[in-house]
Structure 1
């Protein structure tokens, strides 16, 4: 994003007068912090329009990245290499095994297909390990590779694979490197990507609008934004999410897995009112009165949020903080639990909602940005506002009383 580009340019004093060889030294810095095409495109525009770098210089700093690496190409590279895949034993393909032939079927194979093929063809332990390593090689970095391995293990478990087959897909060195990437990412977010919001999107303002919406009228973009904050909703969940007596279903990250209901938790404590507002938005999308954010190219909503210096993913993160604030908090662990429930984090996963990288500069309506405090719901042992726990509890209780009075 443009803020990242600005920080890096200012940090290293980059100028359009520098030649390509000098600029190329900072390419890895840009790519490390710009993790998807949207962020890279925003950063390119900032470099080109804001700092007046030429198109050639921008291409050096932020080269085009393919979002998906072709598995056939990866296999060819492995087959043509005369060296081991890595020096660590955990990275090595077992002796006597050949990487599978780079067939068109393999190049288009999904992780689910791979899991089914492993069991269908009754692959040996060493064959499974080599297949898992090829899967790692197809990822752009260790973090993505670790995620793909986790998905493979989940698919294998659901298909009833033995523990021996599942365990052989674990690569400790890859996990270690993935953890380092995530730690570096967290530190970067804490330093450069805290979310600020205007008075229009403070908790008090959002809560007032949610309480006053008349569902007999068609919703507008503001209502869409408020409901997304209320339920920490992903764009892909706008149509699929359902609130039932058993909990919340239609969670986007289920990815075809059994749709186990998650605990209902949102800014709106009343389940019926929350369901009413969610259905209100879903009907507007289904009828065509409002566009579907779950489909690519929803620039109309981005333009609406740009006026407030926000993007859609910020709404989910702000909503997690507001949900934690509006519910009674007993201690940091309880705060973490509530935030995780707002995010519909899997309670069986004992890691915190750390992957959401939520750092919001929380402030009340009327407070200046300088009075805002970073709300960190992911830092182990130190979550919430940068305040002592007793003061944090007192402030959250006061805010809870205020929102109750506003009803």
Structure 2
């Protein structure tokens, strides 16, 4: 990703004359924003061929990562390391599919076994060893503490699972990510896609006709839908089901919250789109490799994943959020975030420049969104 590479190089004024120890300070910045091997390989070529960094310098800025993971080297006291490595119990790698079950079982095992503070700390640290970075480690430890608290663990047991070094490193990753997003990844939108314009079109749609791409985009904003959810999402009296979730998780109804306050109207519009897709009269933008919807949005400088974020902000505005904390709560409900999801959302942190129709871009208000699942 040459654009991201160029932005990072220019932002921090990186040059091939810099010492390797200096360049090493920016490794996390590259890894946080280059999320797969293809992007990293492109960035390495850009650094080497475009900015004339040596192979050694490139390997420091963007180290090779097998299976997408890097060995995490947290600066922790040697006593902690000795405890962790001497423990014989091995904790499976908490993937998105099994992390909740694995950490929950660990918490139960800790209490059932009546382990000492020393052993609890060892197991907690072992939990972080397979994490790709300190931010993920901190998230796992946070989930473990919540599980222990729910099971009635003592204050001392819960406190012993805290590692200030990991927390500090995780906070630094989050700060760097926020700085990058605020500098390079803010979402702007034209008047055609303001809250006022979207709501006017949603109110005017006749569901007895065939929907077009504009209707598809407006309804995806209205319900904060991912393309992959379009055919599965359902609005019921109990709540919203059929949303994207980790494999193996139950389809628990989540609260209906949308910029369209009328639940029946929202359901009608969603069904309208789904019938058009199922009948073959409209394509499914959730199918892999589909580009026609991206081409439609490109005329407005938008991409599909931005629609979900816009819908969350519009939902908070439409429901009259009293303050930013209230706005974040409403936005999270629009996005159908799980109240039990403790994974750090730093990777999906975005900024939406909210403005009303006709208001100049420079007068837009920044709205920070964490799309966590």
Shift in alpha-carbon separation, 1:274–1:93, aligned structure 2, 3 A: farther
Alpha carbons 2:125, 2:161 under 8 Å: kept: no
In the TM superposition, what whole-angstrom CA distance separates every residue of 1:212-239 from its partner, at most 9, and x where no partner exists? Answer: 3343445444333322211223344334
Alpha carbons 1:210, 1:226 under 8 Å: kept: yes
Shift in alpha-carbon separation, 1:169–1:148, aligned structure 2, 3 A: farther
1:160-199 to 2 correspondence within 5 Å?
Answer: 163=153, 167=158, 170-173=161-164, 174-199=166-191
Equivalent residue number for residue 7 of structure 1? 7
Equivalent residue of 1:269, what SS? coil
Alpha carbons 1:317, 1:356 under 8 Å: kept: no
The count of corresponding residues between Structure 1 and Structure 2 is: 358
Q: 2: CA distance between counterparts of 1:153 and 1:298?
A: 42
Equivalent residue number for residue 248 of structure 1? 240
Larger RCO, structure (CA 8 Å, separation 6 or more) = 2
In the TM superposition, what whole-angstrom CA distance separates every residue of 1:261-300 from its partner, at most 9, and x where no partner exists? Answer: 333211111111111222333444555642352x654555
1:145 to 132, 137, 143: 137
1:93 to 69, 75, 83: 83
Q: 2: CA distance between counterparts of 1:229 and 1:99?
A: 47
Structure 2 residue 197 is the aligned partner of structure 1 residue 205: yes
Any stretches of 5+ residues in structure 1 without a counterpart? 79-83, 379-407
TM-score of the two chains, using structure 1 as the length reference: 0.66
Deviation at 1:311, TM superposition (A): 2.9
Deviation at 1:350, TM superposition (A): 10
Structure 2 residue 265 is the aligned partner of structure 1 residue 278: no
Equivalent residue number for residue 365 of structure 2? 373
Equivalent residue number for residue 99 of structure 2? 111
Q: 1: CA distance between counterparts of 2:63 and 2:301?
A: 26
CA RMSD of aligned residues (A): 4.9
Equivalent residue number for residue 401 of structure 1? none
Q: 2: CA distance between counterparts of 1:304 and 1:24?
A: 44
Shift in alpha-carbon separation, 1:34–1:350, aligned structure 2, 3 A: closer
Shift in alpha-carbon separation, 1:219–1:176, aligned structure 2, 3 A: farther
Deviation at 1:321, TM superposition (A): 1.5
Alpha carbons 1:248, 1:262 under 8 Å: kept: yes
1:3-402 to 2 correspondence within 5 Å?
Answer: 4-13=4-13, 18=16, 25=23, 28=27, 30-34=29-33, 36-37=35-36, 40=39, 44=43, 47=46, 52=50, 60=59, 62=62, 65-66=65-66, 68-69=68-69, 86-87=76-77, 93=83, 97-98=87-88, 100=90, 110-111=98-99, 114=102, 125=115, 130=122, 132-150=124-142, 163=153, 167=158, 170-173=161-164, 174-253=166-245, 256-286=248-278, 289-291=282-284, 293=286, 296-346=288-338, 357-376=349-368
Q: 2: CA distance between counterparts of 1:246 and 1:368?
A: 41
Q: 1: CA distance between counterparts of 2:41 and 2:302?
A: 13
Alpha carbons 1:224, 1:281 under 8 Å: kept: yes
In the TM superposition, what whole-angstrom CA distance separates every residue of 1:70-127 from its partner, at most 9, and x where no partner exists? Answer: 9xxx7xx99xxxxx98317666535852364x9xx97999436645875699777477
- Choose 361-370 or 56-65, whichever is displaced more: 56-65
